[in-house]
Amino acid sequence: SQQGEEDPQALSIQEGENATMNCSYKTSINNLQWYRQNSGRGLVHLILIRSNEREKHSGRLRVTLDTSKKSSSLLITASRAADTASYFCATLRISGSRLTFGEGTQLTVNP
Amino acid sequence: GAGVSQSPSNKVTEKGKDVELRCDPISGHTALYWYRQRLGQGLEFLIYFQGNSAPDKSGLPSDRFSAERTGESVSTLTIQRTQQEDSAVYLCASSLRDSGYEQYFGPGTRLTVT
């Protein structure tokens, strides 16, 4: 398996519910980033969390990082239909030069 | 301010032909990345530029693929003798300095090889 694996592969929830997506990785990292992709085109950066950070917030988004378990989670609170998209985690290995992306979680928020 | 732009947005080509894909990064961003994304899959790294040099081109799948960057700005990805398995969306991203910073993505070029 590859660096940066999201879980679940697909998630379907109702508007107003919270959505939690997880990411696991294998090697030590410098930072971990979460991106959103709509309709299979350009990705939009959501949050960057560095290896010495444990939690970050941005609006309705909360990201946690557990380096001992080599895992991260993205929580979207009070979801909206507009949050429907694919969500990817990406990791930068220590001494690495580029991000490694996972396969993504497809989130569907039903109105 | 302008974001990352890519052209063309769609390209249909016949097997065996060469194609050139263009990326204009955000002005002042020294790092530029090319990725490939097949339908329903994650991003596959192709090449990374820092300025005009490519310290990491390990993701280029074969010698049919090449890329260059000039003037620390525009980059072109060239695929020679295209094959059907080259069909994918090719995404370009730039970042301020390196992968320690967030990446800004272009809308991608959807390449279809018939």
Q: Provide the 3-class DSSP secondary structure of residue B6.
A: strand
CA distance B114 to chain A (A): 20
Asked if residue B75 has pLDDT above 50, the reply is yes
**At A75, is the pLDDT very low, low, confident or very high (cuts 50, 70, 90)?**
very high
H helices of A23-95, in order, are none
Q: Determine the distance from the C-alpha atom of residue B89 to the mean position of all C-alpha atoms in its chain, rounded to a whole number.
A: 9
Nearest residue, CB atoms, A88 vs list B42, B56, B101: B42
Name the domain count of chain B: 1
* From A56-60, B98-102, B104-108, the region with the lowest mean pLDDT: B98-102
**Is the residue at B73 inside a domain?**
yes
For chain B, give the percent of residues with pLDDT over 90.
Answer: 85
CATH number of residue B89's parent domain: 2.60.40.10
pLDDT of residue A95: 78
Range of the domain at B82: 13-95
Nearest residue, CB atoms, A99 vs list B99, B104, B107: B99
Residue B80, H or E segment: none
**Is the residue at B111 inside a domain?**
no
Sort out which chain A residues have CB atoms less than 8 A from B101's CB and list them: 48
**Is the residue at B48 inside a domain?**
yes
Q: Are A55 and A38 in contact (CB under 8 A)?
A: no
Domains and CATH numbers, chain A: 5-110 (2.60.40.10)
Query: Do A42 and B91 make contact, defined as CB atoms within 8 angstroms?
Result: yes
Q: Are B49 and B76 in contact (CB under 8 A)?
A: no
Residues B70-92, mean pLDDT to the nearest whole number:
96
Q: Is B102 on the interface with A (CB under 8 A)?
A: yes
pLDDT of residue A4: 67
pLDDT of residue A71: 95
Residue A56, H or E segment: strand A55-58
